[in-house]
């Protein structure tokens, strides 16, 4: 799987997998017992842990045909429930780089944006058609294009929506505070030198 998102996000390409169902909450995405982790590193292995245990290898995140997928196709109100940032962290560390669905819980959407993971929406009928296409051929390659605002494969093309503000943040890279700091390191250094308490404040005494 590619490295974690950084800088401008213009498109996400790869195979897709589907999670069907309305109102899939963050406790299902990453059960509460995993919130005690010191870091997010191991969360990818635990994404949908309880659902996967119940389905005994038949869950989409366990199916061989969906291995390596980077685009997740979901239904309505995905990511509802508690406002745990662990949910998008777990998805990202499994390998997800974009989510396309009918709608998203607001805090989940924001937490994904903070990681550089686009959450695009389409109508319920469109999502059902996309899910059917993915289910029909899991090897099909898809591209979510934030310039064209479309999700496309070699056989299908669907218009999607991301609100202007989040879309601009992704396209410009402004979602990524770390990269912005690194890209402006000389300005940061200059500012630090201009702040008395970071330099010789009190030294004259």
Residue 70: predicted pLDDT: 97
Nearest-angstrom CA–CA distance, 58 and 55: 5
Q: What is the pLDDT of residue 184?
A: 62
* Structure confidence by residue, pLDDT tens digits, 18-65: 999 999 999 999 998 887 776 788 898 999 999 999 999 999 999 999
Determine the pLDDT at residue 205.
Answer: 46
Looking at domain 11-174, does it have CATH number 3.20.19.10?
yes
Alpha-helix runs per DSSP H in 14-146: 26-29, 49-55, 86-94, 106-113, 124-136
The domain locations on the chain are: 11-174, 175-205
Residues of the chain with pLDDT under 50: 1, 202, 204-205
């Amino acid at each position: 799987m590619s490295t974690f998102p950084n800088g401008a996000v213009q498109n996400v390409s790869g195979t897709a997998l589907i999670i069907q169902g309305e109102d899939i909450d963050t406790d299902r995405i990453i059960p509460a017992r995993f919130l005690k982790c010191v870091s997010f590193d191991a969360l990818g292995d635990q994404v949908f842990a309880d659902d996967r245990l119940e389905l005994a290898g038949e869950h989409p995140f366990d199916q061989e045909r969906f291995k390596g997928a980077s685009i997740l196709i979901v239904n309505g109100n995905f990511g509802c429930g508690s406002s745990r940032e662990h949910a998008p962290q777990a998805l990202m560390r499994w390998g997800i780089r974009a989510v396309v669905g009918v709608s998203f819980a607001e805090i989940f959407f924001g937490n994904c944006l903070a990681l550089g993971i686009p959450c695009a929406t389409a109508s319920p009928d469109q999502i059902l058609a996309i899910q059917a296409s993915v289910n029909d051929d899991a090897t099909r390659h898809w591209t979510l294009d934030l310039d064209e605002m479309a999700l496309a494969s070699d056989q299908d093309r669907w218009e999607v929506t991301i609100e202007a503000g989040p879309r601009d943040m992704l396209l410009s890279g402004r979602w990524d505070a770390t990269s912005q700091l690194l890209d402006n390191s000389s300005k940061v250094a200059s500012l630090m030198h201009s702040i008395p308490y970071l330099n010789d404040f009190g030294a004259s005494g």
